[in-house]
A and B are shown apart, each in its own frame.
Chain A
């Protein structure tokens, strides 16, 4: 059960101040030149309350470029320098509930077998304060993937807008409680029933369970070629995605020292599976597009008991050729 409080409109600012003073950095959606980015938030006015950031907040726990180790040459010998992730205590403030849920989909991959200390250190130091959606757009489909615009899953604190101004705060975890302790005055007792601004309406476009069953028999269906014909084979969808976890490991070095970096990668890029011999198991864009869909909607549920998608629609918004994932999945779930 979650603890429920009321936060006034001005209380949000006080809370951000208090978090900042406690030595945590506050990141959140911020409008910069007509775009929304996940960036440092200094005061409540900087928070973008409408729309979604273009790139997800996953960089907080899984940066686009991160150092896995360093090394230097000493004559013929090599000296390895194990690095620790620079995991600054962080509060992700004001992200959407879909983003908050996405951390679970990353977690299952980074921890299902070997434990990834880089991801774990960052995740342990991240607290998520999400704000429920009261608006959605044509790319959103959280309701089709087992969620909703006011889903508390994954949020340490979920804020829901009150008709009278301010927010209802549902504190779901110990990390959330730690934030409450930072600014006790901000979290006021709940006077009876909260009168909430209604959550956004997101009409379900398909049923993820049905989709999973349909995918089982659709691997060789021409639908993947048809859908991917306009796909350019870039990685925009994967790089803005809050759950895409595929990465590459790259060495960068000079004659004296080097480092091993982990960078985001995408199954949509041709090089992803290309062997040095020239053989490519997924040589065609249609195969790569199919892999993207199957990985998230068939292999994840089978293997990790969760979907590899939270229905945020960022991929569709970022796509230069309008590959609308919701429509494509609805099509795949039919017939």
Chain B
């Protein structure tokens, strides 16, 4: 495509995607596997881990989520969402074979190249595992790039854990360490994981900060309490990454919703280091 053709494109026009599979993850939480309806579009499509898109339920509107699958898995993308608002509820009503829209990929990426040769610790809470799932699979698929990989994942209850099958698979792998936890009272008989809040668990396992990158994603309160723990373990501010999800309408740096400080989360984010995040006003 020439530059001029590109400029005359309708940047608001989504790809049409067919729902190839639906997985119920947790109450109200679903994963869609989406395949392009147009083979040429599928061929040309590329993304990197950390990027997001806007998913359309036609007739209701668009909603922003990360791409939850790894770019190393070709031919489809996956997204995981909780039925909360107008669009996510409409998406929740869709069946396999239905058509949804997708615009993207947008935003910046997790700098995997930069992480080569380092230990990685992923810390996620609740419905915030999907953005990290993309990068976790990506790292596992490039396993020899990295040293130790640890995943700490917590949810309120056992039922609220997403990607249960994959957690099982990760738990069995010998080339990574998975720690799952549920909030006190969220356990049930037979639960073999830990019981306790994510920040406490991170403190317990106390990963060494040397040559290690921490990637944290979760509800604001979890992030707020986890960061001091990581600081205590002497993680540097440029070695802690997170991903923001501000409300967006365009994803293209125009509609103004995600603007926080000088940053447009859709363009400069969603991936930020703690050092970058601290420069922004706390409007996210």
Q: Which residues of A contact B250 (CB under 8 A)?
A: 247, 249
Query: A120-B7, A247-B254 known; A68 and B12 CB under 8 Å?
Result: yes
Quote the shortest CB–CB distance from B17 to chain A (angstroms): 10
- Which chain B residues (261-281) contact chain A, with CB distance < 8 Å? 261-262, 267, 281
Partner among B88, B101, B257 whose Cβ is within 8 Å of the Cβ of A246 = B257
Supposing A68-B12, A114-B252, A246-B255 touch, asked if A281 and B283 sit within 8 A by C-beta, the answer is yes
CB-CB under 8 A from B97, the residues of chain A are 76
Is A82 a contact of B13 with CB atoms below 8 Å?
yes
Residues A302 and B249 in contact in the complex (CB < 8 Å), given A82-B13, A258-B59, A281-B283: no
Q: Which of A32-40, A93-101, A178-186, A265-273 contacts B (4 or more CB under 8 A)?
A: A265-273
From A120, A248, A282, B255 is in contact (CB under 8 Å) with: A248
| Residue B11 interfacial (CB < 8 Å) | yes
| Cβ B85 vs Cβ A82 within 8 A | no
Task: Provide the residues of chain A in CB contact with B99, threshold 8 Å.
Answer: 76-78
- Complexed CA–CA distance, A281 and B168 (Å): 36
A281 partner residues in chain B, CB cutoff 8 A: 246-247, 260, 283-284
Q: Is A295 an interface residue (CB 8 A)?
A: yes
Q: Does A230 contact B (CB under 8 A)?
A: no
Q: Tell me the minimal C-beta distance from A243 to chain B in angstroms.
A: 12
Number of A-B contacts (CB under 8 A): 116
Q: Does B192 contact A (CB under 8 A)?
A: no
Interface string of A248-267 (1 = CB under 8 A from B): 11110100001010100101
* Residue B62 at the chain A interface, CB threshold 8 Å: yes
Main secondary structure of the interface of B (DSSP, over half): loop
A196 located at the interface, meaning its Cβ lies under 8 Å from any Cβ of chain B in the complex: no
Decide yes or no: A276 and B85 within 8 Å by CB, A113-B252, A249-B255, A281-B283 being known contacts.
Answer: yes
Q: How far is the CA of A82 from the CA of B14 in the complex (A)?
A: 10
Given A78-B58, A291-B283, A299-B262, CB of A114 within 8 Å of CB of B256: no
Count residues on chain A whose CB falls below 8 Å from chain B CBs.
Answer: 50
B246 CB contacts on chain A under 8 angstroms: 273, 281
* Chain B minimum-CB-distance residue to A277: B84
Asked if residues B8 and A282 are in contact (CB atoms below 8 Å), the reply is no
Interface string of A73-90 (1 = CB under 8 A from B): 100111010110000000
Q: List 19 A-B contacts (CB under 8 A).
A: A69-B10, A76-B97, A80-B13, A114-B253, A116-B252, A116-B254, A117-B8, A245-B254, A247-B254, A247-B255, A248-B255, A249-B12, A249-B62, A258-B58, A258-B59, A262-B12, A276-B85, A276-B86, A299-B259
Q: Add 17 more A-B contacts to A69-B10, A78-B99, A273-B257 (CB < 8 A).
A: A69-B13, A83-B10, A109-B253, A247-B249, A251-B56, A251-B58, A251-B62, A253-B58, A253-B60, A262-B12, A265-B249, A265-B255, A272-B247, A274-B247, A276-B85, A281-B247, A281-B284
Which residues of B come within 8 Å of A, CB atoms? 6-14, 16, 56, 58-62, 84-86, 88, 97-99, 101, 220, 246-247, 249-250, 252-257, 259-262, 267, 281, 283-284
